[in-house]
Structure formats: structure tokens, C-alpha cells
Chain A
Amino acid sequence: GQSLEQPSEVTAVEGAIVQINCTYQTSGFYGLSWYQQHDGGAPTFLSYNALDGLEETGRFSSFLSRSDSYGYLLLQELQMKDSASYFCAVLNSGGYQKVTFGTGTKLQVIP
């Protein structure tokens, strides 16, 4: 089976940097993605790592270490609108494109 662990809640100050961690256990691994979901809305794609290292997309960066089965999402210059839930997700490398999501981290940005 597959499982992903994330912290349930994180609070950070506007303008600061915050890191959301994700550890995973999977029988086959293709890549790690991150999604953002505001309350009442649908998840939107943020970032994807198939190889080890850092991927940067504007204020958001994502890191992957395949040997440690670990990744993180880094949000810089936090804004109030970044308050949302963040999910990591893995795609297995089997014959079917099955995706498993983590339980999500609720980020609260405070003034």
C-alpha cells in the first residue's frame, strides 16, 4: 500500500518563509506533486518533482529526496492569500496511473 504523512497544521507570519514536509511509503514511485486548496474550493496544482532536488516556481519551491522518501514545499514571502490546505501526492509507477494524496496541511498566515 501507499501512505503519506504531513503535519496537520502550520501557522506562519506574513512575509516569512514556511516549509511543509511530506514523507511517503509506496510500493512504486513515479513522482511527488503538491496541491493547494482554499476552503470550499478545488485543489490546484503547484509543483512536481520526479527527480531529486529543488524545483522553483515563483514564491513556491518543492524539494524531493527519493532515497529518504521525503519531500517538502517551501513558501516564501508569505501572503495572507496563502492561507489554505496543502497536499502532497504520489503517483505510483505501476501499470495504472493511481495517485495517492496525503492528509493535508492547513496553513494559517497571520499578520
Chain B
Amino acid sequence: DGGITQSPKYLFRKEGQNVTLSCEQNLNHDAMYWYRQDPGQGLRLIYYSQIVNDFQKGDIAEGYSVSREKKESFPLTVTSAQKNPTAFYLCASSPEGLAKNIQYFGAGTRLSVL
């Protein structure tokens, strides 16, 4: 089945540790996105990528890093510089053309700090 797979579902980070959240899609979509959602809040854009080997900072990129070496993969690293990483992280992708503003989301990763 086509879709977006995020792993792990739950992740715990120790003080000073970098952690990487995985996002894989088999929808053949060009654009991919990472969002952060805090309890009772909306989605805030961390990074987005329109094509392979290219990505742009979103509204809250500080303390995060990404790579886009393959079309189907867009991993997010939460670095030790992100002092308040506890949140729900959502990965999404979207196709080109008329459906540009339709995003397909993964099931998300819940990150907590130990």
C-alpha cells in the first residue's frame, strides 16, 4: 500500500543526545515536510524539501537538521541544541501539479525527554 511511514512511534531522548526520526514515502511525491505539534496547538513547520538534495528552513528550524539524499526519504535529527524537544512530530508529503496543497501525513512520532 502507498503511504508515509514514520518510525519510531515513540522515542525518548537523554540530555545532550541527538536523535533521528525516520520518514519514508512510496507515493513518488516530490515535496516533503516536517512539522512539530505541541499539545492543543497547531502544526508548526520545521523544514521542507521540494526536490532531492534541496531543503528549506521553516518557521522553527533551530535545533533541528534534515537531509534529502533520496526522493523517498526525509529524516529529521533533533539535536542537543533543541532544549525543549518534547512534542508530536509529523512528516508529510505532497505531489506536484493541481494537488499541490494536499498533504499526506504519516502517523507521527512522539518524542519525550528522559
Q: Cβ of B50: which chain A residues have Cβ within 8 Å of it? A: 96-97
Main secondary structure of the interface of A (DSSP, over half): strand
Residues 14-46 of A contacting B (Cβ, < 8 Å):
30-33, 35, 41-45
A1 to B102, CA, bound (A): 21
Q: What is the 8 Å Cβ interface bit string for chain A, positions 41-73, against chain B (1 contact, 0 not)?
A: 111110010100000000000000000000000
In chain B, positions 29-50 with a C-beta closer than 8 Å to chain A are 31, 33, 35, 41-45, 48, 50
Option from A32, A90, A99, A104 in Cβ contact (under 8 Å) with B103: A99
| A63 vs chain B, min Cβ distance (A) | 16
Count contacts between A and B, CB distance < 8 Å. Answer: 66
B100 engages A31 (CB within 8 Å) = yes
- Contact residue among A33, A48, A98, A102 (Cβ-Cβ distance under 8 Å from B42): A102
> Could you say which residues of chain B place their CB within 8 Å of the CB of A104?
41-42
Q: How large is the interface on A (under 10, 10 to 19, 20 to 34, 35 or more residues)?
A: 20 to 34
Please name all residues of chain B whose beta carbon is closer than 8 Å to the beta carbon of A109 when the two chains form the complex. none
Could you tell me if B101 and A42 are in contact, using CB atoms closer than 8 angstroms?
Answer: no
| Neighbouring B residues of A42 by C-beta, 8 Å | 90, 105-108
Whole-angstrom distance between the Cβ of A57 and the nearest chain B Cβ: 12
Structural contact, A87 and B42, CB atoms closer than 8 A: yes
- Shortest 3 CB-CB contacts between residues of A and residues of B: A42-B105, A91-B101, A103-B42
- New contact pairs (14) apart from A90-B101, A98-B48, A101-B35, CB-CB < 8 Å: A31-B100, A35-B103, A42-B90, A42-B105, A42-B107, A43-B90, A45-B104, A50-B98, A89-B101, A96-B56, A97-B31, A97-B94, A99-B103, A101-B42
